[in-house]
């Protein structure tokens, strides 16, 4: 079965640079969620999109923005990167019909030096 695809899998950036993370949900899933997971921590909700509209916002810095496109893929844009932004960034997708489940992608490991 097709799963959530995230790219890139690994990303190394310097402080103050920008990064763009991409997420391709499971086919026919219409909801995308972004989570940030620091080392040894639980995933923290950043932002979500339902039918291409932002549906909820969590602890996402103003330096970050995201959107969901017409083909339902989503991009997380991160600017003015800080050392503390180093983390695993997961995208999850949810099934149509306002299904409850969330299926996680493999994540993007962002390292800011």
Partner 1 sequence: GENVEQHPSTLSVQEGDSAVIKCTYSDSASNYFPWYKQELGKRPQLIIDIRSNVGEKKDQRIAVTLNKTAKHFSLHITETQPEDSAVYFCAASMGPGGYNKLIFGAGTRLAVHP
**Least distance in Å: CB of 53 to partner 1?**
9
**Would residue 38 be called left, alpha or beta, if left means φ above 0 and alpha means ψ between -120 and 50 degrees?**
beta
Contacts (CB under 8 A) with partner 1, residues 89-108: 90, 94-95, 97-107
**Binding residue for partner 1, selected from 20, 55, 67, 111, defined by CB under 8 A:** 55
Contact between 45 and partner 1 per CB under 8 A: yes
**Least distance in Å: CB of 80 to partner 1?**
25
**Least distance in Å: CB of 31 to partner 1?**
5
Site residues (vs partner 1, CB under 8 A): 30-31, 33, 35, 41-45, 48, 50-51, 55-56, 58, 88, 90, 94-95, 97-107, 109
């Amino acid at each position: 079965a097709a799963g959530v695809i995230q790219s890139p899998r690994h990303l190394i950036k310097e402080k103050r640079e920008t990064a763009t993370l991409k997420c391709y949900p499971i086919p026919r899933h219409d909801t995308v969620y972004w989570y940030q997971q620091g080392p040894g921590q639980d995933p923290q909700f950043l932002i979500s999109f339902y039918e291409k509209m932002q549906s909820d916002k969590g602890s996402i810095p103003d330096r970050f923005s995201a959107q969901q496109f017409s083909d339902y893929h989503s991009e997380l844009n991160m600017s003015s990167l800080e050392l503390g932004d180093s983390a695993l960034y997961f995208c999850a997708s949810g099934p149509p019909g306002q299904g409850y489940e969330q299926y996680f992608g493999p994540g993007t490991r962002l390292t800011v030096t």
